[in-house]
Amino acid sequence: MSIYVVDFKPVGGGWDVVHDDAPGGSHAGHVAATDIAFGQQTDGTPDYRTAVIACPFPGCGSVSTHPLGGGAAPRSVQEMFVRMVIRLGCPCGAFTAGKSAVLTILHLKGHVAAIEGIQRWQVASIVP
Amino acid sequence: MTGTTTGQLPLTTATDSDDTENFLTVSLTAVLQSLTNLFDSVTGHDHSGAGKGAPVVLGAASVGTAAIANGAVTNAKLAADVARANQLVNGGHDVWGRGTSAFTATAAYAADRWQITLAGTDTLSVIRNTANVDVGSVACSACTFVLGSGAGATRYSQVLKVSDGHQLAGRTISLSARRRTATANAVRVGILTDGTGGTTTFSGFHTGGGTFETLTATVTVPADATTITISTYFAASCTAYCDNDNLIVGSVAADYVPLHPADDLARCQRYYYRIAGQTVGTVVATGHVYATTDAMLPLPLFAKLAVTPTITVSAAGDWAVASATFVSQTCTALVGYTSSSDRMSLHATVAAGLVAGNATTFVTLNANSTVTAEANP
């Protein structure tokens, strides 16, 4: 399925991730929320449409680039974007950090509706 | 009463014992049988049985023209072996794009489009199996299930969404699924729908006889349903083999009929597309160098995906781009850059050696090199 978050609230903090179609078989690991970044445009500025997760499993080196709509794991990826935008603000420049989950979801839902249609958004709320 | 029987028809003249009047008594059944025999002998016609309420059994080639009116044979009159279009992807569990090792995590896909959902403390391990397949099959999903606190809710499913183009809302649909297990009352299949009145409709349980059995379920999907989920449910610890699922529109479940392998693969690649297992030095893409250390590499997808995909690339060291003199420059970083439902691009970084403005080629350096595009509605 790619490298994606399976638990945003594990004991000890950070996020638990799984890489379930890794060459040689699936494996899992743990990342800090700050290890996951927005993708970059060619000029080096963050791209609000993508987020990048490097597999933390030793020796793997694989990297997943998730689209805002969710790609391989819609619920997980969309929740990841919500948490990133609450912390960092949206790289589109129109939405600052620190706003509520409800407002953040509304903002991101608008982006996704423009890219993939309104039916694509699947996250109604998140546990803070 | 005494009397005698006439010759042509079984009529009896009778005289009551207490008077002298003559009566004509009739055995109606015998009379009708005599008439039938007379009719048959004169006309050569044979309608034996039909007039007495028994099924009509037609002789070979006895319906040569329009005895059955056009459009009169309904779905309900069809037998299970009449092939009908399968709405599922990879119904035969034959395509395993993600590999053949065991899949255990909840939400993980095993066979293409078939996803694990764990309940409670249950565990389920799914692996490709070729030794215990149904007749004529290439592969099946071998499921090793251990019951915890899931109470029968753990499932191995395929989800069909209206948003993905499926047109099942408001229709009656039927599932036929071949399952094998040696544990009684452990495995059944079901159809779950959302929408008004949506619920789960189950088949009966597999008997546990150790051979493949056909489990079926039929449901009318609510008109406002957005999701239909086809599942195998596990209610007791067991090893079960899932093969040959067929979901059709209609009230009578139909046997699975395999697609041509090319069509089967094309359906799967709408959701999971993988470039892997290439020989060393395979040119996977050409691209554009825009700095001494950076190149952009567009990769068209051979199938249009269901939604914008996630791009996953294996380690940067598995790949190289070519310099102006066609010397491989091993990538030091590699990441998906953009994607859409029918194309993607990668951003490759090397230590040095490229010339801005040049073209380049993107090549594999070892057998681990993999790029996947995955789109799950």
**Three-class DSSP labels, chain B:** CEEEECCCCCEEEEECCCCCCEEEEECHHHHHHHHHHHHHHHHCCCCCCHHHCCCCCCCCCCCCCCCCCCCCCCHHHCCCCCCCCCCCCCCCCCCCCCCCCCECCCCCECCCCCEEECCCCCEEEEEEECCCCCCCCCCEEEEEEECCCCCCCEEEEEEEEHHHCCCCCCCEEEEEEEEEECCCCCEEEEEEECCCCCCEEECCCCCCCCCEEEEEEEEECCCCCCEEEEEEEECCCEEEEEEEEEEEECCCCCCCCCCCHHHHHHHHHCCEEEECCCCCCCEEEEEEEEECCEEEEEEECCCCCCCCCEEEECCHHHEEEECCCCCEEEEEEEEEEEEECCEEEEEEEECCCCCCCCEEEEEECCCCCCEEEECCC
Beta-carbon contacts below 8 Å between A and B:
122
- Quick check: A116 and B308 CB within 8 A? yes
Greater confidence (A21 vs B86) lies with B86
B153 vs B12: which has the higher pLDDT: B153
b (16+ CB within 10 A) / e for B140-160:
bbbbbbebeebebbbbbbbbb
**pTM of the model as a whole:** 0.85
Confidence class for position B347, pLDDT limits 50, 70, 90: very high
CB spacing of B376 vs A69 below 8 angstroms: no
Closest residue to A61, CB basis, from B101, B163, B314: B314
* Interface contact A49, partner B, CB < 8 A: yes
- Of the two residues B41 and B263, the one the predictor is more confident about is B263
Residue of A nearest to B344 (CA): A65
Taking the Cβ of residue B125 and every Cβ of chain A, the question of whether any pair is shorter than 8 Å is answered with no
ipTM of the complex: 0.96
Q: Which residue of B has its CA nearest to A39?
A: B337
Query: Distance from A97 to chain B by nearest Cα, in Å?
Result: 24
Q: Is A44 at the interface with chain B, CB within 8 A?
A: no
Residue at token pair 């452990």: B186
Strand order across the B123-129 sheet: B123-129, B140-146, B238-249, B172-181, B212-220
d(CA B270, CA B305): 4
- Which residue in the set B163, B290, B335 is minimally distant from A63, CB to CB? B335
| Measured distance CA(B93)–CA(A32) in Å, rounded | 37
Counting DSSP H helices and E strands in chain A, the numbers are 2, 6
pLDDT for B21 equals 57
Q: Which of B268, B308, B345, B365 to mutate to test the interface with A (most CBs of A within 10 A)?
A: B308
- Mind telling me how many Å the CA of A118 is from chain B's nearest CA? 10
d(CA A36, CA A21): 19
- For position A79, what pLDDT does the model report? 98
**8-state DSSP, A7:** E
Positive/negative CA dihedral, B327, B330, B333, B334: positive
The pLDDT > 90 percentage for chain A reads: 84
Q: Does B314 touch chain A (CB under 8 A)?
A: yes
Query: pLDDT tens digits for A62-118?
Result: 999 999 999 999 999 999 999 999 999 999 999 999 999 999 999 999 999 999 999
- Check CB contact of A23 with chain B, cutoff 8 Å: yes
Q: Which residues of chain A make contact with B163, given a CB cutoff of 8 A?
A: 117, 119-120
Answer whether A1 sits within 8 Å of B315, measured CB to CB.
no
As a whole number, mean pLDDT of residues B170-178 equals: 98
* B199 contacts B193 by C-beta, under 8 angstroms: yes
The pLDDT value recorded for residue B216 is 98
B338-356 average pLDDT score: 93
Closest CA of chain B from A31, distance in Å: 17
Cβ separation A21–B99 shorter than 8 A = yes
Looking at residue B42, its pLDDT comes to: 73
* Cα A99 from Cα A71, distance rounded (Å): 25
Across the range A52-63, mean pLDDT stands at 96
Residue A43: closest C-alpha in chain B: B290
Chain A nearest-CA distance from B292, in A, is 14
> Of B200, B276, B195, which Cα lies nearest the Cα of B233?
B200
Is A46 in the B-facing interface, judged by CB distances under 8 Å? no
Burial (CB count <10 Å: 0-12, 13-18, 19+), residue B278? middle
Contact of A122 with chain B, judged by CB distance below 8 Å, is answered with: no
B19 C-beta neighbours (distance < 10 Å), count? 8
Assess whether pLDDT exceeds 60 at residue B4.
no
